[in-house]
Amino acid sequence: MTMASMYFCRMLFSPAGYSALPGFVGAVNQEFQLKFGPSCCRLYSIYSSTHKFDFTDLTRPHSWYPNARRKHRKIFLHMGPTNSGKTHNALKRLESSDSGLYCGPLRLLAWEVSKRLNKAKIPCDLITGQEREEVDGAKHKAVTVEMADVTSNYSCAVIDEIQMLGCKTRGYSFTRALLGICADELHLCGDAAVVPLIQEILKVTGDDIEVQYYERLSPLIPMKVPLGPYSNIRKGDCIVTFSRRKIYAYKRKIESEGGHLCSVVYGSLPPETRTRQATMFNDTASEFDVLVASDAIGMGLNLNISRIIFSTMEKFDGFEMRELTVPEIKQIAGRAGRYGSKFPIGEVTCINGDDLPLLHSSLKSASPTIERAGLFPTFELMYLYSRLHPENGLRQILEHFVENAKLSENYFIADCEEMLKVAAVLDEMPLSLHDKYLFCISPVDMADEITSQVCYKICK
């Protein structure tokens, strides 16, 4: 053993090394403790045999999750368009399992699943970036995908909207859940465009895969004409727009010119308020019979919508103003005519007639195949790297990984622009690397004055 490798070994396994590890509390730290031992042994053995360990080699992400790799998982892909019963079937399996984990892309979806399970007398915790509601005796958890637990054993787990693993900012959390969740049965629900990539990624995990394709349960008809005057608005319509300001502007317009009262739904509404608004809209006795919503309705929410009306086919995606993609258009349009609702046949149109060709062509197109999944280095890798470069702050460590990451062809490195901004602020504060990492992977919009001030105060 060389001096260098002896030093490396001492550094990793000495009590000082461990005590220097930042606060061992909470689920992420539990994951860290459980994984750190075997992973470090593995990293160390590679290091001592080659005298050189490349921390930026991210070509084998499946090996970051030894617990899941020890299991022979049975993976069910429920693939199909919106409103085809995919989630319904996966949730039925979850409900009948001894223990389970639901991972959704939205806090609202996790909230709905936890409510549904608790109502069915299956105690279920709710864990999102914003709340943690623990229920006595719960063996089920409904979480946002970023909070997915990859250390415990589950009988059954569900990852909803799995095609989001191709999302440039959040995709890595879906990849982590896909590779890391330790469940006998893992159910993946989403668009069939992701099937070849998942099959490719799972070739190295030793899991069994079964794919089930679904058809839409009720018809969806694209209209040949745009909405026209607001007096054409009718019961069960849903106007889709992409900013909170516009949501309230349309609500005012429709209430004054269209003669209908409107409920509103958008992502940042508290779940209780959103449920109240959705219930008012779904309730036939209520006067609030029109909905104005953001694309937050695009994923999974069950609403009695008769017709979707796109106010625009463009949205600001945090980086730029861009046209909606085919999957986004299909996903949002698919909310009309929900199976089992009072409007079993859905219609879809636009406010602006010039947008109709894009709407029609998108609904006829297959979603483009998703070629690569997002990836982000684990805390362990960053920690080990930081021990060798103690002079570097989190921002420099992140930049190093982004610039030097070596990836297999199935993956891309997550877009870290926002994280780099947060890391630069955090590096000014006396926080451990682990705490900085946690703050960094939390969804904070540093462009939002209030959010960034709150983040700054909490960190301090």
Question: Which spans of this chain sit near ligand ATP (rule: CB under 6 A)?
Answer: 80, 82-88, 189, 217, 300, 302, 334, 338-340
Cβ-based nearer residue to ligand ATP, 40 or 189: 189
Q: How far apart are CA 64 and CA 153, in angstroms?
A: 16
Please answer whether residues 114 and 142 qualify as being in contact, where contact means their C-beta atoms are separated by less than 8 angstroms. yes
Smallest separation, CB 192 to ligand ATP (Å): 11
CA distances from 396 to 54, 60, 374, 402, 460 (A): 17, 23, 21, 10, 21
CA distances from 180 to 30, 148, 435 (A): 14, 9, 22
Cβ-based nearer residue to ligand ATP, 228 or 340: 340
Smallest separation, CB 109 to ligand ATP (Å): 9
Smallest separation, CB 343 to ligand ATP (Å): 12
Smallest separation, CB 161 to ligand ATP (Å): 7
Q: Which of 296, 121, 267, 92 is nearest to 189 (CA)?
A: 92
Smallest separation, CB 104 to ligand ATP (Å): 10
Cβ-based nearer residue to ligand ATP, 189 or 419: 189
Cβ-based nearer residue to ligand ATP, 39 or 87: 87
Beta bridge partners of 239: 292, 309
Cβ-based nearer residue to ligand ATP, 37 or 340: 340
Q: Which of 214, 166, 218, 216 is nearest to 187 (CA)?
A: 214
Cβ-based nearer residue to ligand ATP, 157 or 438: 157
Which residues 6+ apart lie within 8 Å of 19 measured at CB?
none
- Which residue's entry shows tokens 């919106």? 82
Q: How far apart are CA 162 and CA 173, in angstroms?
A: 10
CA distances from 192 to 78, 92, 132, 263, 297 (A): 8, 21, 32, 32, 20
Smallest separation, CB 346 to ligand ATP (Å): 11
